[in-house]
Amino acid sequence: MQRRILFVILSLVVTIGTVFMPTMDSSEVQAASEYANLEKSINSIMSDSRMKAINSSVTVRKASTGEIVYQSDADKKITPASTLKLLTSAAALDTLGEEYRFTTEVLTDGTISKGVLNGNLYVRGQGDPTLLKADLDQFAVQLKKQGITKITGNLVGDDYWFDNVRLSPSIDKTDETHYYAAQITGLTLSPNKDYDAGTVIVEAAPTKKGYKAKVKLTPETGILKVVNRTNTVSKGSKNTLSIKRQSGTNNIIISGNVPVGSSGKKEWVTVSNPTAYTLDVFKKSLASKGIKFNPSSVVKRGLSPSEGQVLATKKSMPLKDLMKPFMKLSNNTHAEILAKTMGRQKYGEGSWNAGLRVMREFADSFGLDSSAWRFEDASGMSHSNKVTSAQMTELLFLVRSAPWYASFVQGLPVAGANERFVGGTLRNRLTSPLVKGKVIAKTGSLNRVNSLAGYAETKDGETLIFSILTQDQKTSTIPLIDKIATVIATSVH
C-alpha cells in the first residue's frame, strides 16, 4: 500500500559543536525565479569543458517545500557511488528502527560440572559489525566467572543468520584485499572502533638495515599466514612497502623496501572467512583466561542449538548511533550487513536479494519512484547502480518528515569539520570559512565517478537540498562538485 508522506514542519535542535544541522524552513514560499543568480552561477560551472565532456545530473530543491530551483539533466540515470547509502540508511532506520541492536551470544549444549564444560561452546552471530576483541575478552571473563576452566567439546561458530554469499556482485579479485570489500558473514570481527568488520590491521615497521620489517597484526590471529618479503634499507630511501592478501587465501604478502627511521606502512586487510577469524581470536581470549579445550576439540562452523544455554551476550550500540561510523566514514561493510539484516527481519532471509527487495519496497512506500533507482548492492560499489539527481533530492526532502530524521541527518559528514566522526569524508573538503559547517552531505567516489548529495545552509539561512552526480570523467570532478556546493551555500535570493 502506498504510504503518503505528509509535509510537517520539524524543528530539530541538534548541536555538534558549532556545526550546522538543517531544520525545516518556516519562511514564506519563494518563487523559483528568485534563484536566477544561483542558476546562472551553476550553469557557468556546468559549461566548464570538464563537465561538458562527462555525464552528469544535478538538482537543487527548497527544503521547505521540495520545489526544484535548479536542474540539469535531473532525470538522467547516473552511477551514485556511495551516495546510494542515503537510501540504505533511510530504509534501515525505517525497517529496523532507531533502537535496533545486533546480538552476539555464547551458548552451550552441555553442562558445567567441577569447572568442566561437558559439551560444545557456540558463538551465535547476527552480523554485528561492532564486535571487538575486547568483547570476546569479556565473554571469556564471564565464562571464567561461571567456573569454567576446561571445555570437552568443540568451538563452533554459528553465522547462519545470513546466507553463504559473502561478496556482492560488484567485487572482483583486485578489490578483495581492501577494507572496503570485506566479506559479509553473520559472525565477524572489527580490529578497532572504526568498525571495519572482517579486517585485520597489518603494520610493517623498519628494523635494522638488511633485515626484514617487523610485522604486527591487530588483533593477533593465526588465521592469517604472513609472507614477509621485505627489506629494511637506508634512511631516506624510498618506501616501497606493499601489504596485500592473496586472492582466495588468507596469505598476507608483504613486500618492498622500508627505510630506517620511517613509520613503515599500515593497512586494513580483509580476511577470507571472518567467522573462522572471529573464532580464532575468541579461542585466544579463552586461553588468556586459563580456559582450555580438549586436544581432540576442533574449531568449526555449525548451527547452534535452539534450546542451548546462553552463557554470555553482547548487544551492539543502537542503529541510531551506528549511523556515525557507517555514514561519516562511508563504511561499505555496514551497508551490506544492514541490507542482509533488513532481508532477515522482513522476509526471514539474510540475503542480498531479500535486503535489496526491502530497499525497493521502502522506496515505493516512501513516495519515491523505485523504477528510477537501479542497484545490485547497498553500499554503492557497483558501477551498474543508477539513480537520478531528482530522485536523490526527493529522498532527501521526504526524510525530513520521518520520525527518525534526527538519526539520519546526524550521520552525514559535515564540511570542513576536522574531527573524523563529525567531518567524516568531508573533513578536508569545503574548508573555506564561507562554507565550513554549512554543507552536510554524503560523498561518493568510484573510478570515473564522483558524487555529493545533502543539505546546504545559504547566506540568508535557508536550507537547500542538492544532488550532484557525475560519471565517465578522466580526472576527478570533486573540485567542480565542490564549486557547485559552494555556490549553493553562499547563495542569496
* C-alpha cell recorded at residue 295: 586436544
Q: Which residues of 35-59 are buried (b: 16+ CB within 10 A; e: fewer)?
A: beebbebbeebbeeeebeebbbbbb
Question: Rounded to an integer, what distance in angstroms lies between the CA atom of residue 379 and that of residue 79?
Answer: 12
Catalytic residue among 56, 170, 304, 330: 330
Strand order in the sheet with 68-72: 68-72, 55-62, 463-471, 449-457, 439-446
Question: Rounded to an integer, what distance in angstroms lies between the CA atom of residue 207 and that of residue 260?
Answer: 7
82 a catalytic residue = yes
Closest Cα to residue 454, out of 393, 401, 373, 369?
393
113 a catalytic residue = no
Strand order in the sheet with 242-245: 225-233, 251-259, 242-245
Question: Rounded to an integer, what distance in angstroms lies between the CA atom of residue 409 and that of residue 399?
Answer: 9
* C-alpha cell recorded at residue 193: 572502533
Question: Rounded to an integer, what distance in angstroms lies between the CA atom of residue 168 and that of residue 275?
Answer: 17
At CA 242, angle to CA 237 and CA 248, rounded to 5?
A: 165
Residue 157 φ then ψ, to 5°: -100, 120
389 a catalytic residue = no
Catalytic residue among 62, 77, 85, 265: 85
Question: Rounded to an integer, what distance in angstroms lies between the CA atom of residue 415 and that of residue 427?
Answer: 6
* C-alpha cell recorded at residue 106: 555464547
Strand order in the sheet with 292-293: 111-113, 116-118, 150-151, 292-293
**CB-based contact 289:203 (threshold 8 Å):** no
Question: Rounded to an integer, what distance in angstroms lies between the CA atom of residue 65 and that of residue 491?
Answer: 18
Peptide bond into 295 cis (omega under 30): no
Surface-to-core class of residue 67, CB atoms within 10 Å of its CB (0-12 exposed, 13-18 middle, 19+ buried): middle
Beta strands in 31-148 (DSSP E): 55-62, 68-72, 103-108, 111-113, 116-118, 121-124
Catalytic residue among 41, 56, 57, 82: 82
Q: What is the CA radius of gyration of the chain?
A: 25
Question: Rounded to an integer, what distance in angstroms lies between the CA atom of residue 152 and that of residue 328?
Answer: 45
What residues act catalytically?
82, 85, 330
